[in-house]
Amino acid sequence: MDKKPMSLFESAQAQLDEVASILHLDSGIHAILREPIREFHVSIPVRLDDGRTKVFKGFRVQHNNARGPFKGGIRFHPDETIDTIRALAAWMTWKCAVVDIPFGGGKGGVICNPKEMSSGELERLSRGYIDAIWEFIGPDRDIPAPDVYTNPQIMGWMMDEYSKFKGYCCIPEVITGKPLAIGGSPGRGDATSRGGVYAIIEAAKHLNIDLSATTVAVQGCGNVGSNTAVLMHEITGSKIVAISDSKGGIYNRQGLDPRQVLQHKIKTGSVINFPQAENVSNEELVELKVDILCPAALEKMITEKNAPRIRAKIVAELANGPTTPEASEVLYHNGVFVIPDFLCNAGGVTVSYFEWVQCLHKCYWEEEEVYQRLGKNMRKAFQAVLAESLKRKVSMRLAAYIVAVARVAEAMKLRGWV
Ligand code: NAD
């Protein structure tokens, strides 16, 4: 009989099991980390614009809080499942630990299709979600943030609803990713890409690569992909030779101006058919002869099939889960330097942490200060993972897990949980 493929959460547990055996993790700590500490399943009644009431299903999973309050985004998606939310909550625990910010891991989701909802319906759903979970979140308990199909406006409504329940005028530190005018942080918009660029700079130093002489292909042209292309062009002077979106990609060996490409995308709805470039498929883009490949779109874009044909020296995983475990092995054996997703894209949660700190202190920083602190955190995290990878002769991905799990386990031990 065919073996049932692992669910996302089962594969997150399998990754932990591997690290647990390398670290000879205490069996109690291992058992605690295999499961979320708690999870909530809620039903949210929402009055629709046509007068009917519809009940939406929502979740909040709190994986581990040994190092600080649970932290993680809220997704609004028609295909949301509790299994995905559990896996993402565990990955948030590792992400916060690897960049050494004082948070644990959590994640939330509501099964809904925001593309088919009016702004009023979305607001009532957002407030309804908070009505259902407000007692279990808070600035010292669990701090949500935006994720797939949620945005700063939704965070603003949620913060407002939470503040009303608590009886205060405004508790901005309960949620991050808010609009600037109500306690958002400067620099949050491009923080994920900026953090990724700082990690690429460290990787290039280690590999002795002059970034100003490199070529880059970016897959995805949403928040993360577009900002990565612009920042690589402007900070490192790299040549962006290819970029894509869901409709396809474009390529020009001489280099593209990412800001012009974005203008073209705003005007036409896609990067394709950009003048002075040839169209390529997303499959072709991944296999282009470039120095740096930045998958910044969806998961599972680099698979067993295309991994052997990847010619980049560095793969910077800006997206979550862009490389399958089998492809990861292939890249490692082919000597491709992979900056693993939960390190490479941790800039977003790092600036979320800065936002929480600023809200708690009621004192806001300049953009430059945010960039400086982000750079320091990313460099430190990258160097810790690199040192582990060199010491143990393992991939950067496994090294990142080892660093993260060891930090969480240490906190659990020191707190006397086992
Ligand atoms: P987004 O929705 O803004 O952009 C996604 C982009 O991917 C779009 O340009 C879309 O056209 C493109 N795309 C979709 N299908 C594609 C395909 N088959 N081939 C190529 N491109 C395709 O999302 P985002 O916020 O930029 O997130 C991108 C990735 O980064 C996701 O994996 C997300 O989980 C991860 N991430 C985002 C953040 C953040 O701060 N936004 C933080 C951490 C990780």
Ligand 1 nearest-atom number relative to CA 249: 20
Q: In the 8-state DSSP scheme, what is residue 138? A: B
Task: Give yes or no for a contact between 20 and 405, defined as CB atoms under 8 angstroms apart.
Answer: yes
Q: Give the residue whose CA is nearest to atom 3 of ligand 1.
A: 222
How many C-beta atoms surround the C-beta of residue 362 within 10 A?
Answer: 9
Whole-number Å distance between alpha carbons of 101 and 114: 31
Whole-number Å distance between alpha carbons of 44 and 122: 12
Instruction: Tell whether the model's pLDDT for residue 1 goes beyond 60.
Output: no
The whole-number average pLDDT for the span 343-358 is: 98
Q: Where are the alpha helices (DSSP H) in 49-185?
A: 82-98, 119-133, 152-166
Residue 129's pLDDT band (boundaries 50, 70, 90)?
very high
**Residue 107 is among the residues annotated as catalytic for this protein:** yes
Residue 373's pLDDT band (boundaries 50, 70, 90)?
very high
The whole-number average pLDDT for the span 126-148 is: 97
How many C-beta atoms surround the C-beta of residue 280 within 10 A?
Answer: 20
- Between vectors from CA 359 to CA 62 and to CA 343, what angle results, nearest 5°? 50
The whole-number average pLDDT for the span 170-189 is: 96
Residue 207 Cα to ligand 1 midpoint, Å, equals: 27
The whole-number average pLDDT for the span 110-122 is: 97
Whole-number Å distance between alpha carbons of 65 and 162: 21
Indicate yes or no: pTM above 0.75.
yes
Which residue among the candidates 71, 107, 239, 265 is catalytic per the annotation? Answer: 107
The letter for the amino acid at 221 is C
Residue 261's pLDDT band (boundaries 50, 70, 90)?
very high
Q: Residues lining ligand 1, judged by CB closer than 6 Å? A: 192, 219-225, 244-246, 282, 296-298, 318-320, 345, 348
Instruction: Tell whether the model's pLDDT for residue 329 goes beyond 60.
Output: yes
**pLDDT for the residue 8:** 86
Which of 71, 74, 192, 272 has most ligand 1 atoms within 8 Å of its beta carbon, as the pocket-test mutant?
192
Tokens read off for 264: 């073209």
pLDDT single digits (tens) 75-108 = 999 999 999 999 999 999 999 999 999 999 999 9
Ligand 1 nearest-atom number relative to CA 223: 26
The letter for the amino acid at 15 is Q
pLDDT single digits (tens) 192-209 = 999 999 999 999 999 999
**pLDDT for the residue 2:** 64
Instruction: Tell whether the model's pLDDT for residue 342 goes beyond 90.
Output: yes
Instruction: Tell whether the model's pLDDT for residue 7 goes beyond 90.
Output: no
Instruction: Tell whether the model's pLDDT for residue 5 goes beyond 80.
Output: no
